[in-house]
Structure 1
Amino acid sequence: MVRSGDTCSSIGKSTGATWAQLISWNSEINNQCSNLDKIVGENICASNPMGNYIMPTNTIGSSSATGTGNVVITTALIPSPTLHGTNSRCGRHHKIGANENCATVEKKFEISKSDFLFLNPEVFTNCTNLQKNVYYCVKPVGYIPTYPSYGGSATSTPVLSPISMTDAPFPTHLLDSGGDADAVIPVANDSRKDCTE
């Protein structure tokens, strides 16, 4: 149970869970773990809720069993009802309440409007068709720019154009009479004069 003054570090020390694990197992905790004060008194997962697991290799999907009895979980189970088109690669769903709208959902789950609309493409850009008692995706799985068709790929390499340049001439007025530039580097008052490096 989260208590006043708890941090991910203090919870981790008492439970043996890492910061990343606590965030991964508890979608209500933000990535900075700075919102624990909002869930004081609530129980959170301090061990993997799905038991032992292995990391997925190269596939994205919901849960799948491996031959060793371990379970791989990459997305949350899809609740009902959801609207056709809601992104199936979702880390958390939220059921819209009577007084909720896009702005309240965005604030509550710390998700941008563009990300919310991307995860729920059936929602109009002005959010006038948000339906009460329907589940919507409010958290991506991992880093949302890695999703296919998310406004360009986060892994794409930007095209860089070389810029022509000209070397600046060395300011010869800084050279001492022997042609040594080091001799005129300013030093702090009372610095040793016999130091070479």
Structure 2
Amino acid sequence: MTTNYRRFYKVQPGDTCNTIIAAAGIYGPNFYIWNPAARSDCSGLWANTFCYIGNTVGPSITLRPPTPTTTTKPPAGNGVATPTPFQVGMVSNCKSFYLVRSGDTCSSIASARGISVNNFIRWNPAVGAGCTGMWANTWACVGLI
């Protein structure tokens, strides 16, 4: 019996390449290499089809991506209006925000804003250590009070 299982995911209505990449915790460019039919703009991703999301030791996983917070209230006590939607788990003492765009990386955002990648990840923990959980079209913290 093999110990190397291939992981596939059945695309659900509303899924995007970015949501699958984030939920699977994989390196974004690999997704497009493994699934060329999805195309770089994700226009080839179709609901109810399967995409390859890598190998793992163990059985397949069920993906349930986190939902970005959509509240219009600022985090308690800081007095700063927080734009929505924002990265899940973002720190509550944020004062500066950046709208994540498709193709952004933790490094590119940190460099553009003059902060360290470590701080960016600390302030936006849902992006993950490998920056695979960052969602396009959500706001990320790039400066603290």
TM-score (structure 1 length as normaliser) = 0.34
Q: Larger C-alpha radius of gyration, 1 or 2?
A: 1
**Structure number having the greater strand percentage:** 2
TM-score (structure 2 length as normaliser) = 0.45
